[in-house]
Amino acid sequence: MNLKSIIGGVAVGIIAVAQISCKPNNKGGASGSSELAGDAAQKVYVAPGTHDEFYNIVSGGFNGQISIIGLPSGRTLRIIPVFAQSPENGYGFSEETKPMLNTSHGFVPWDDSHHIALSTTNSIHDGRWAFINGNNTPRIARISLKTFRTEEIIELPNSGGNHSSPFITANTEYAVAGTRFSVPPDDKADVPISSFKKNFKGYISFVSIDKNTGRMGIKFQLKTPGVSFDLARAGKGKSADWFFFSTYNTEQANSLLEVNASQKDKDFILAVNWKKAEQYLAQGKGKKEAAKYAHNVYSDKVHSATSTIMTEVMTLDPKECPDMLYFIPCPKSPHGCDVDPTGQYIVGSGKLAAVIPVFSFDKMQKAIAAKTFDGNFDGIPVLKYDAVLHGEVQKPGLGPLHTEFDGKGNAITSFFVSSELVRWNIEKLEVIDRVPTYYSVGHLSIPGGPTAKPWGKYVVAYNKITKDRYLPTGPELAQSAQLYDISGDKMKLLLDFPTTGEPHYAESIPASLIEKNSTKIFKIEENAHPYAAKGEKEAKVVRKGNEVHVYMTAIRSHFTPDNIEGIKMGDVVYFHVTNLEQDWDVPHGFAIRGALNAELLIMPGETQTLKWIPTKVGVTPMYCTDFCSALHQEMQGYVRVSPAGSNVPLTWGTGKNPVAEAEQKVAKK
Amino acid sequence: MKTSLLTIAIVTLTLWGCGGASQRAEKPETSDSVLQQQEEVHGTEVKEIALTNPLSQPMVDEGQKIYDMKCSSCHRLTDERLVGPGWLGVTKRRKPTWIINMITNVDMMLEKDTEAQKLLEQCLVRMPNQNITEKDARSILELMRKNDGEK
């Protein structure tokens, strides 16, 4: 065979491959449609040792955590505990992190968290923080995108469920929290349920965010009429002073809402002029009311959290603040309420509606100026539907839920009932493209999709039903997410990837905005933990009554001290473990047999504390749980527990025999 | 043969177009205020160290502080080997540049230096990067000199 024919043969082979890879196949799903991109494998392949293009920051739903996923690979990179305890690293179990989960109800180590909001400057991602809501026990958490840890959690009083949250304003001035359940005020809450219309209020909290530190505080609460707030978005550009909230149950039903809250032809989108609210506040229209809520803050300097119980909150009554709130009628139980990148259009998605109404901010301003009202609802003007409507997308699909934007003048809306994504042109209100999802999509996410500057390229569908998409794992299944390429005329399915918990909403942000800021170590010199042992010289064991404090160090591959005697039954032992390493990715673990709480995972330069109440007399082993070096298996030690009242002296050490030394000391005396 | 090469070129182009050369999304703009500088100490090779006598007491004191916090877990000031070798006599065994590079530039040393590699075989634990600057490493060296009896 000569060279020419070999090359010819290769050419034929390549042509064959090219044809196969370009041919759309029918593996998209059960329906046998052709939505799968022919080059899907190539587009989601992230070669070994290379990085994903986007961080996908995904709410964990009923697991109360956040998943960090790489796109386009769909690889899970990390799970961040937020409202839930994590025995994996001790979050919510260690003495330092327990205060993070404190609330006015006490210690609540779980939640149902739905929505992610990434911080923005001028409505563009700035890569500083992620916010997430606790839906059940109303809370908002702030997560640092440097440490990928929960730094702050604030509870919300006068709220029955924090669903309409934590959407943020253009420059991250505020995160909002609209209550899903209207409730009577916390301090006057013992009222008949049937007095709903009289006593219940729909509170909306405006949580201020310090622009340098991110520190949160409830600036004010609006006491709006008793309806259910569902979702929300801030305006952008010309509408940046406004916030838009979708509502349901404007029937004000308090029982069998499935029927009773679906009576009206239209519910409302509430438009809030939050700048005006600030003005009223400055004029002294606010009223402080008694309320009880927890504010929890974690510090990377003392490596500990504090929890403060607050006792009052500022409220604004719309009745005393005219021109601040307006209702926009929106067909049939609106769910999503999304503002396009220009800030001009507000898209409502009526769960039970056959159209998608799109409202115009300019028209809304005109209607307000001309007082084109259709009566009022509990004193708040209702704008005329036709006067504020840009237009309706006709027959887009069944069960519209959420809308995001591709930055090219188009919107993509998710449809739960007809299980599809539909792309449509915002100006022309025309459907351009549709693609099925498997199965029954809830939220969708385009990188930068809710911002003034969508990064585009992909959309992820977070499906509510998984069924047969993966190998079966019994009755309980992972959740199904699907990645689509939206760079061309047709949306094309690229990848199925399972997620944990139940992702509701997620955002994606270019890796380049975050990766270079990622914290690698905590500097041991800056460790201000009161129980830190900064060097083995500071390792010691101190008894205070029945409390025993072990100032312990960990470095590859030993603990100091690793032999402790003189602990007695009835003692409460605190292991304060400082990791002396100063290199990236060298955490140490700490575990002790029979611990009733958890283990610890301690990052380089950090101090964390495990509380241990011995349950048995005897010698108890302890060891490092994170494979740290070739001699990791040797990183172990013993604690001797003696009966209450015994006279075994308190001794400790590493690399020596503590008892022998103690006996010498006794002998010298 | 020319034809075949041309075919390959065309087919490659087709594959490229079809595969969609992966273009990254538009590079985002960020403001400096957002991107806080993160200090990270990575050694560059130190080739010369000037030693002076008498020893600098401030440097010895500083070296002792750093030793207590970052070194003493693994190194004794005696000749006893703990995790790593004891420091007694180290300034007689090793050149000053070797010591400084071993502190600030471990990865390079374990890759290139046969003496460092021998030590890893004995100790089985990589000398960790303890995030020590060259200046701090110099203070540690001063402590070692004092420990070895220099004045």
Look up residue A197 and give its DSSP letter: H
Read off the amino acid at residue A486: I
Residue A11 predicted with pLDDT over 50: no
pLDDT at A657: 54
Per-residue pLDDT of A584-594, as tens digits, reads: 999 999 999 99
Cβ distance A39 to B18 less than 8 Å, yes or no, reads yes
Q: Which range is least confidently modeled, A218-227, A328-337, A542-551?
A: A328-337
pLDDT at A29: 46
Residue B40 predicted with pLDDT over 90: no
Q: By CA distance, what is B38's nearest residue in A?
A: A517
Structure tokens at A167: 């959407």
Chain A residues lying within 8 Å of B34, measured CB to CB:
121, 126-128
Q: Which range is least confidently modeled, A258-262, A356-360, A615-619?
A: A258-262
pLDDT at A666: 52
Reported ipTM exceeds the 0.90 cut: no
Residue B98 predicted with pLDDT over 90: yes
Average pLDDT over residues A622-626: 95
Q: What is the pTM of this model?
A: 0.88
SS3 B5: helix
Distance from CA of A534 to the nearest CA of B (A): 5
Among the partner-chain residues B8, B12, B28, the one whose CB lies closest to the CB of A513 is: B28
Q: All domains of chain A, ordered by start, with CATH?
A: 44-517 (2.130.10.10), 524-668 (2.60.40.420)
- Asked if the C-beta of B54 comes within 8 angstroms of chain A's C-beta atoms, the answer is no
Cβ distance A3 to B1 less than 8 Å, yes or no, reads yes
Q: Is the dihedral of CA A150, A154, A159, A164 positive or negative?
A: negative
Cβ distance A457 to B40 less than 8 Å, yes or no, reads no
pLDDT at A25: 38
Cα Dmax for chain A: 97
Residue A47 predicted with pLDDT over 50: yes
Phi, psi of A101 (to 5 degrees): -105, 15
Beta bridge partners of A293: A310
DSSP A350-391: ETT-SEEEEEEHHHHHHHHHTT-EEEEETTEEEEPHHHHEEE
Chain A residues lying within 8 Å of B28, measured CB to CB:
124-125, 453, 455, 510, 512-513
Cβ distance A555 to B19 less than 8 Å, yes or no, reads no
pLDDT at A655: 83
Average pLDDT over residues A292-309: 98
Residue A45 predicted with pLDDT over 60: yes
Q: Hey, which residues 243-282 in chain A have their CB within 8 Å of chain B? A: none
Nearest Cα to A126, choosing from A563, A453, A544, A496? Answer: A453
Residue B41 predicted with pLDDT over 80: no
Among the partner-chain residues A124, A487, A537, the one whose CB lies closest to the CB of B68 is: A537
Average pLDDT over residues A28-46: 77
Chain B residues lying within 8 Å of A121, measured CB to CB:
31, 34
Residues A248, A252, A255: CA angle, nearest 5 degrees: 100
Q: Which range is least confidently modeled, A475-489, B30-44, B76-90?
A: B30-44
Q: Which range is least confidently modeled, A40-44, A509-513, A639-643, B40-44?
A: B40-44
- Residue with tokens 């995030």, as numbered in its chain: B131
Q: Which range is least confidently modeled, A2-16, A328-342, A404-418?
A: A2-16
Percent of chain A with pLDDT over 90: 87
A600 pLDDT tier (thresholds 50, 70, 90): very high
Structure tokens at A272: 């809030």
Residue B43 predicted with pLDDT over 70: no
Chain A residues lying within 8 Å of B19, measured CB to CB:
21, 39, 42-43
A642 pLDDT tier (thresholds 50, 70, 90): very high
Q: Which of B30, B36, B124 is the best residue to mutate to test the A interface, defined by the most A CB atoms within 10 Å of its own CB?
A: B30
Report the C-alpha gap between A522 and A301 in whole angstroms. Answer: 9
- Asked if the C-beta of B2 comes within 8 angstroms of chain A's C-beta atoms, the answer is no
CA distances (Å), A391 to each of A187, A190, A328, A338, in order? 44, 45, 14, 15
A113 pLDDT tier (thresholds 50, 70, 90): very high
Q: Give the HSE-up count for residue B100: Cα atoms under 13 Å, Cβ half-sphere.
A: 20
- Asked if the C-beta of B7 comes within 8 angstroms of chain A's C-beta atoms, the answer is yes
pLDDT at A33: 52
Residue A17 predicted with pLDDT over 80: no
Q: All domains of chain B, ordered by start, with CATH?
A: 57-147 (1.10.760.10)
